[in-house]
Amino acid sequence: MTSGHADTKAVLMRPAPKRRTGRGWTPALLRALLFLILGLFVLYYSLPLFVMIVTSLKSLEEIRAGSLLGLPQAIELTSWKTAWESACTGVSCHGLKPYFWNSILLVVPAVVISTALGAINGYAISKWRFPGSNVIFGLMLFGCFIPFQVVLLPMAITLGTINLAGSVAGLILVHVVYGIGFTTLFFRNYYVTVPDELVKAAKVDGAGFFAIFTRIFLPLSTPVIVVTVIWQFTNIWNDFLFGVSFSQGGSQPITVALNNIVNSTTGVKEYNVDMAAAIIAAIPTLLVYVVAGKYFIRGLTAGSVKG
Amino acid sequence: MAVLQTSKLYKNFGPVEVLKDINISIEEGAFLVLVGPSGCGKSTLLNIVAGLEKASAGDVLIDDRVVNDVAPKDRDIAMVFQSYALYPTMTVEKNITFGMRVRNVPRQEREEALQRVAKLLHIEPLLRRKPSQLSGGQRQRVAMGRALVRRPKLFLFDEPLSNLDAKLRSRMRSEIKQLHQQFGATIVYVTHDQTEAMSLATKIAVMSEGEIIQLGAPQELYDRPNSVFVADFIGSPAMNLIRGRIEARDAKPHFVADHDGTQVALPIDHYDFERDLRADQELILGIRPEYITSGIANHHGAVSVDLELVPLLMETTGFDQYVMFEFCGGELIGRFSSKESIDVGRPHRVQLDLSEISLFDPEAEFRV
């Protein structure tokens, strides 16, 4: 004990604290504190999801009687079934199922088209510079920052003029137009890091604009394609404003249907069905992240092409 | 018949003139090296020849055909780039045959050409690898293979060796030289390295600020540089340049340099003047380090002068040593055998062989 005392004294007298030889309780405490804080954040973030899942598995009586955080006494899957097949959105009562397919039919073409256009745009702007290409890129960048609400009315008029109002095709067009700015930005920033000499070499070899794009640039683009697809998929799937503004009746996307389920209550509010419906609506985006998430990080950080 | 010819070629980037009045003509089998400091326009010139950039004025002719508006792929050229520019997602094999696949060359023919080139460059074991799995030298070879495979009329090399280390560079240099001699290919080669230029070229164009300063055989440029710039640029260590003036001594023209009252007079009556001079005109005298010796390697019948000079600095290369002397307030570098013992600070007897000097006008900096 005496030696320990002397040790502490020696440590105190030194100008800089020497942690390794000390008792080591300070770093351990700091570490514990760190984990405590991180743990609290994790709790804070996962609590809503927990409540959603738990609530969706409870029966209505239990929800009304029990506490919000309590585990269900018996697992009931009926609310999931209801949400999927028979919950009422306004007058019709077919659940989320038809709208889920609506969303798929909307999102897949919109993502594919906007990503493909972004890739070609980014390639042209970064590797085939023409007079005014910087201005065009600047305008596209500007387009990324226009709030959704601003374009609602002009877009509605445009869709009306070209006879696409209220159709899935119209909604796809809206998302493609709105997404091109972002997708072009992603691809352009990625292709800028590809050396210009590759294009020159291919030109001398005899390849043209599209041959260079499909044979040299596309095979290099996996990371940026993944990033763009995740970004577009999430945004378009989760979009509510365009969906509610430019679609009608049976062609509405799932976000609008979810809203209708939650808001069209007759009598008792079925919290368990609402929660199940919300989770169903969120599953595809979660899946995309789980499947392609690691490319997302890689694509965002890496950009250079090692030749 | 000229394989490549440029006439009155100009290139501007906005108000900046990058190339001014470039006139070049090379025969079949020539190895033309464009050399100059960075930013002199040599790469731009090569890109214009390749069709990757457009000239602002003037014509490019390949095989006596004006190709100003012909796309690179239709010019019958192949190009090797500084960064090699190998297609990163393709194997070596695919890299080499890319040009032929784009042009829909039949499979059989492609395969034969590939094997021929792979054998020539000793890259057969690498054909299935990706560029990222190759070393610098191997990538270089593949890049050359991609150029060689199509047997074009004209090869263009854009600083192909500058990314290699010194040893590999000299090896690849001799391989390129060998390829040239073996096939009699016509080559335009860009570099900033005058050693590379000297050892490879049959013809060198020294460029500076968008102009061709001198165009000629390597030895001609070395022996008779037409300007101070070329004299200074070609040769390592560079030519010694001494300021002085012309003066008559014993009724013969002498080059006189003076500094702090001491005068050195060098006879120049043997010099083959290209221009008329005024009496007592200011001059720059250029003399290569190998003509400043101890007098042992005296050339027969050479005009020479003996001087006592103080060594300032020595640099050995193994076989030779370069000694820097104090001379008329400037410096003079001489080349001596490393066997000779020369000490810094101790005056040394030096012989200046004046048979191969160059004289320049100090203002216009051209040869007189």
> Which tens digits make up the pLDDT trace of A181-221?
999 999 999 999 899 999 999 999 999 999 999 999 999 99
Same domain, yes or no, for A20 and A120? no
The mean pLDDT of A135-150, rounded to a whole number, is: 89
Q: Is residue A86 part of a domain?
A: no
Instruction: Select the residue from B102, B135, B159 to test the A interface by mutation, using most A Cβ atoms within 10 A.
Output: B102
Counting beta carbons within 10 angstroms of the beta carbon of residue B191, is it exposed (0 to 12), middle (13 to 18) or buried (19 or more)?
buried
Distances (CA, A) of A126 to A130, A136, A278, B52, B54: 10, 12, 41, 16, 19
Which residue segment(s) compose the domain that A44 sits in? 1-49
Same domain, yes or no, for A9 and A107? no
The mean pLDDT of B85-99, rounded to a whole number, is: 94
Same domain, yes or no, for A130 and A269? yes
Q: Is residue A30 part of a domain?
A: yes
- Residue B299's pLDDT band (cuts 50, 70, 90): low
Q: Is the dihedral of CA B138, B140, B146, B149 positive or negative?
A: negative
Find the CATH number of the domain harbouring A209.
1.10.3720.10
Cβ-based contacts under 8 A for chains A and B: 69
Same domain, yes or no, for A296 and A218? yes
Type of residue numbered B150: R
Q: Which residues pair with B265 in a beta bridge?
A: B256
State whether residue B85 sits within 8 Å of chain A by CB. yes
Helix H or strand E segment including A29 = helix A25-56
DSSP annotation string for B196-256:
HHHHH-SEEEEEETTEEEEEE-HHHHHHS-SBHHHHHHSSSSPPEEEEEEEEEETTEEEEE
Q: How many CA atoms lie within 13 A of B261 on its CB side?
A: 0
Q: Is the pLDDT at A4 greater than 90, yes or no?
A: no
Same domain, yes or no, for A36 and A179? no
Same domain, yes or no, for A5 and A102? no
CB contact under 8 A, A200 and B52: yes
Q: Is residue A173 part of a domain?
A: yes
Same domain, yes or no, for A193 and A101? yes
- Residue A9's pLDDT band (cuts 50, 70, 90): very low
State whether residue A215 sits within 8 Å of chain B by CB. yes
Q: Is the pLDDT at A170 greater than 50, yes or no?
A: yes
Q: Is residue A65 part of a domain?
A: no
Same domain, yes or no, for A147 and A210? yes
Distances (CA, A) of A46 to A68, A79, A218, A297: 14, 22, 39, 22
pLDDT for the residue numbered A3: 41
Measured distance CA(A260)–CA(A252) in Å, rounded: 10
Q: Is residue A79 part of a domain?
A: no
Q: Is residue A85 part of a domain?
A: no
Same domain, yes or no, for A38 and A132? no
- Residue A260's pLDDT band (cuts 50, 70, 90): confident
Q: Which residues pair with B286 in a beta bridge?
A: B241, B358
- Residue B355's pLDDT band (cuts 50, 70, 90): confident
Same domain, yes or no, for A6 and A145? no
Q: What is Dmax (Cα atoms) for chain B?
A: 80
CB contact under 8 A, A307 and B72: no
Q: Is the pLDDT at B226 greater than 90, yes or no?
A: yes
Q: Give the minimum alpha-carbon distance from A207 to chain B in angstroms, rounded to a whole number.
A: 6
For chain A, what is the radius of gyration of the CA atoms? Answer: 27
Show the CA angle centred on residue B173, arms to residues B169 and B177, nearest 5°: 175
Give how many domains chain A has, as a whole number.
Answer: 2
Domains (ranges, CATH) in chain B?
Answer: 2-233 (3.40.50.300), 240-360 (2.40.50.140)
Per the prediction, chain B carries an average pLDDT of 90
Q: Is the pLDDT at A79 greater than 90, yes or no?
A: no
For chain B, what is the radius of gyration of the CA atoms? Answer: 25
- Residue B277's pLDDT band (cuts 50, 70, 90): confident
* Angle subtended by helix axes A254-263 and A97-127, to nearest 10: 140
Q: Is residue A114 part of a domain?
A: yes
Residue with more model confidence, A270 or B46: B46
Helix H or strand E segment including A197 = helix A196-205
Strand pairing report for B262-267 and B252-259:
antiparallel
Considering only CB atoms, B83 lies closest to which of A211, A220, A307, namely: A307
Which chain A residues have a beta carbon less than 8 Å from that of B85? 195, 197-198, 200-201, 307
Per the prediction, chain A carries an average pLDDT of 85
Measured distance CA(A228)–CA(A234) in Å, rounded: 10
The mean pLDDT of B232-238, rounded to a whole number, is: 90
Q: Is residue A178 part of a domain?
A: yes
Q: Is the pLDDT at A7 greater than 50, yes or no?
A: no
